[in-house]
Structure formats: C-alpha cells, structure tokens
Amino acid sequence: MKLYAPSTIKEIKERYGFKISKSLGQNFLTDKNVIDKIIGAMNLTPQDLVIEIGPGLGVLTAEAAPQAGKVIAVEIDKNLIPILKENMEDFDNVEIINQDFIKINLINVLEQNDIINGQKRDAVKIMGNLPYYITTPIIMKILEERIPADSITIMMQKEVADRIKAAPGSRTYGALSVAVQYYCTVTDVAKVPKEVFYPQPKVDSAVLRLDVRKERPVKLIDESVFFACIKNGFGQRRKTLSNSLSGVCGLSKEEVKDALGEAGIDPVRRAETLSLDEFAALANCVVSRIAK
C-alpha cells in the first residue's frame, strides 16, 4: 500500500471516519521523491535512534524504520494512533507515543532507549514534517533542552527555513537565525512546493538538516546574557543597538554604549547587522558590566 498516495489517504479517512485537523497542521505528504530526500539526508544506520515529530499516517516512519535501529514516533492526535498502529504493523522497531511533542520528556525517552538491538545506540536523529504553527517552539525545545541529538531533519514553511538560514544584513535575519546557527550548522535539503501535500497548504515548504554542533562556535562567559542581547536587540530591530539594548541585564544606556564600544561595535548599528561573533563579543562585554 502506498501510504503517501492521495487515494490511500482518502480511503483511510473513510474507513476510520478520520477527520483531518487543520488546527493540528495536518497536511500529509504525497510525494515519494520528497520522502526519499528527507530520509536520504538523514544517512541512517542500523544503530540509529530516530525520533519523529508528528508521524501522521506514517509516510516518513515507514521509510525510516527499515534503515534505522528504532523509530519513536510522537503524535499528538489520538485519532491517528489506531491508524498509525495498523500502518506500522509490519515493523517491530517502531514505537508510537500519543503525546504533545512540546510536553514530552525527551531526555527520559532517550535514557530508556540507550540500548537498541542489544547494543549501545549510535546517533539520535530527529525528523518531522512539522505543523507550521509550532515549528519554532519545537526547534527551540530540542536545542534549549540540550537534547543529545546529532541531527534534526525537518520540513517547515519555506519562510521559516529562510529565517533560519539567513545571514547578517538580510531582511530575514533575526533571533531565530542567530539562535539556530549558534547551536547547529544548517544544510539545505529540498524545496517543496505546496502541491505535494494533502490537503494543500497556502505556502511552500523547505527541508533543512540541522547538525547539532559538538562544540559551540563562540566562547561565552554567560549564555543567558548572549540570548538576552539577541532577544532585546531583535525585539526592537528598527532601533539602534544603544537604544534597543538599553536596560538589558539591568545595564543603563551609558553602560550599554560602553559595552558596545569595548566590543568594537558602533552603537548606531542595528541588531540585524551583527554576526554571531559580534553578538558573542558584545555579550561578554555586557557580563563584565553586570558584575561591576
């Protein structure tokens, strides 16, 4: 059975009386080439543990399972669980968890799956065709909770992918770009037109692979100060840095100007022009002023 065929999706809807939920971002993938590109980009090996976000009917799950050691598929919609169980019945290495991915304790899940097929597991690879409304919180959950994942291969709205990849100075460069690029290197996997989903969404999508860095690209004295500078700077992105950062970590405007000067950053610049290295230098100069 071709799970990704629109005729299969329609048949499943009828057989189970399943109603596609718009609010849960249910746009099912119907293109085998795109499925192959996503799975191919993950370079799966028989000792890998795959964590899938939102398996839906299981089109990605069914391709990953034969190549990976185990696939844990986390699906929020309880109405999809019996369908998914039936669709995955040929695989003995797929575990289905009916939970909200945002609320799941992933560290626990990973601890319980340290051993696969009697051997220490290899890499942890996260994948998903993400519901648009929740893409950023899901990515930030994985990164901020320091989930020991090696890579995150995900489909998202093209506009979000553009923001993640953006370089300093571009219109789409913002807090999400700096945060993701701090934790990961970013690789383009595919551009995906809206026509390959059922039902069809309003916008095109893109697939990115985020490889989680083993070492951070910049040295920070206090990571929370770095993120506070990013949040404040982009929170008022039209303002100059001396204005947008005024009050950050309790610093006065004068102290902010001093910190910018020490970091070699002109105070009339805007956050959208600052590279990762410059944000790091600035954050470290802010830290020394908090301590004074």
Residues of this chain that bind ligand SAM (CB under 6 A): 24-29, 53-56, 59-60, 74-77, 80, 100-102, 129, 131, 134
Beta bridge partners of 154: 128, 208
Nearer to ligand SAM by Cβ, of 53 and 180: the residue is 53
Minimum CB separation of residue 151 from ligand SAM in Å reads 17
CA torsion through residues 218, 130, 87, 23, sign: positive
Instruction: Give least dist CB 103 to ligand SAM, A.
Output: 8
Comparing CB distances to ligand SAM, the nearer of 108 and 171 is 108
Nearer to ligand SAM, 164 or 230 (CB): 164
CB nearer to ligand SAM: pick between 57 and 285: 57
Cβ distance to ligand SAM smaller for residue 55 or 174: 55
Q: Tell me the one-letter amino acid at 107.
A: I
Min dist. Cβ of residue 102 to ligand SAM (A): 5
Closest residue to ligand SAM, judged by C-beta, is: 54
**Residue 190 C-beta: closest distance to ligand SAM, Å:** 13
Residue among 204 and 258 whose Cβ is closer to ligand SAM: 204
Distance of CA 264 to the CA centre of its chain: 32
Angle in degrees, 0-180, between the axes of helices 253-262 and 276-291, rounded to the nearest 10: 130
Contact residues for 194 (Cβ-Cβ < 8 A; gap 6+): 200, 201, 202, 203, 204, 205
Q: What does the alpha-carbon distance between residue 242 and residue 227 come to, in Å, rounded to a whole number?
A: 17
Helix axes 223-235, 276-291, angle to 10 degrees: 110
| Nearest-approach distance from CB 113 to ligand SAM, in angstroms | 18
* Nearest approach, Cβ of residue 42 and ligand SAM (Å): 14
Q: Are 3 and 57 in contact (CB under 8 A)?
A: yes
